[in-house]
């Protein structure tokens, strides 16, 4: 989408949010990424205090995301509720099946619904519809609306909207799925393990100028995935040093693992057969 159409697309979203809100409140699920933060900013600008932001905090959510949401809320006078959605109390989620995201989003939307009778909305955009997203089934079951999808906005358009709304660095935030997405399908989700994953990503991200860092926990060991340019930019000795440091993080946490490197692949810890995509 060309930038000159962004004001018109923002106008469409504003009109849609007015229609969704009517005289009631709208509850925005805010994870802390560019999609949800941009939607929250627009919802507040459009509906004022009738837009309420809901941010779920847990071991699967990087603390940077929570800090970002809280800072945005304070700076822009959002109504914000930070809460525990309770996914770590669900055995189905902890088992990390192929549809783990369904159980996570079910917990999220049920927790939001327990706190409000407002219309629930999410930051799902058009690009998300091209992937296997079991969380969308949970959204459907909870009557969640997706304003970006309804007006035909993809990720690139959302980023342009964020710039137009003056959201600064939010517009350039890299994709940052929950930490549970680093754990290979079938390996149980463990809060302590997610803490180690996050610590490892922060260490490597600080040490290497990388656009993307993922610390994947697989049955065969820990794999540090970096974007191609970053991976090519570190020699064998530096890789060995970083692998030793990350191995130390896991060993100190009680999870001794071998550590290797690989090129970044989107969702590579997610194992799904073609017949499970429906």
Q: What's the whole-number average pLDDT of the chain?
A: 94
Alpha carbon distance 213, 230 (integer Å): 9
Q: What is the DSSP letter of 265?
A: -
Lowest model confidence (mean pLDDT) among 8-22, 57-71, 130-144, 258-272: 258-272
Of 172, 98, 166, the closest CA to residue 133 belongs to 98
Residue 266's pLDDT is: 85
pLDDT at 274 exceeding the cut of 80: no
**pLDDT tens-digit profile of 110-167?**
999 999 999 999 999 999 998 888 999 999 999 999 999 999 999 999 999 999 999 9
Q: Which domains does the chain have, with CATH numbers?
A: 3-172 (3.40.50.620), 179-263 (3.30.70)
User: What is the three-class DSSP state of 25?
Assistant: coil
Q: What is the pTM of this model?
A: 0.93
Once rounded to an integer, what is the mean pLDDT over residues 57-71?
97
Biggest CA pair distance of the chain = 62
Of 173, 253, 241, the closest CA to residue 217 belongs to 253
Q: Give bridge partners of residue 119 from the DSSP assignment.
A: 26
């Amino acid at each position: 989408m060309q930038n000159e159409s962004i004001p018109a697309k923002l106008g469409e979203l504003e009109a849609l949010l007015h229609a969704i809100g009517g005289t009631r409140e709208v509850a925005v699920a805010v994870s802390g990424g560019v999609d949800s933060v941009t939607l929250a900013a627009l919802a507040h600008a459009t509906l004022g205090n009738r837009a309420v932001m809901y941010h779920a905090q847990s071991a699967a959510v990087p603390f940077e995301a929570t800090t970002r949401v809280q800072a945005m809320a304070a700076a822009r006078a959002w109504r914000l509720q930070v809460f525990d959605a309770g996914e770590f109390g669900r055995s189905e989620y902890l088992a990390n099946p192929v549809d783990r995201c369904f159980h996570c989003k079910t917990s999220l939307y049920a927790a939001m619904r327990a706190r409000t009778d407002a219309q629930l909305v999410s930051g799902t955009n058009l690009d998300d519809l091209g992937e296997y997203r079991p969380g969308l089934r949970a959204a459907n079951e909870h009557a969640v609306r997706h304003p970006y999808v309804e007006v035909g906005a993809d990720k690139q358009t959302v980023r342009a909207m964020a710039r137009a709304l003056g959201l600064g660095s939010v517009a350039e935030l890299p994709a940052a799925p929950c930490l549970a997405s680093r754990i290979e399908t079938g390996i149980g989700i463990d809060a302590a393990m997610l803490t180690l994953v996050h610590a490892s990503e922060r260490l490597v991200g600080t040490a290497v100028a990388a656009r993307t860092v993922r610390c994947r926990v697989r049955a065969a060991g820990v794999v540090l995935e970096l974007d191609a340019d970053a991976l090519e930019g570190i020699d064998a000795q530096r890789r060995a040093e970083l692998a030793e440091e990350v191995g130390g993080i896991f060993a100190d946490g009680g999870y001794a693992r071998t550590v290797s490197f690989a090129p970044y692949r989107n969702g590579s810890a997610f194992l799904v057969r073609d017949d499970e995509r429906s």
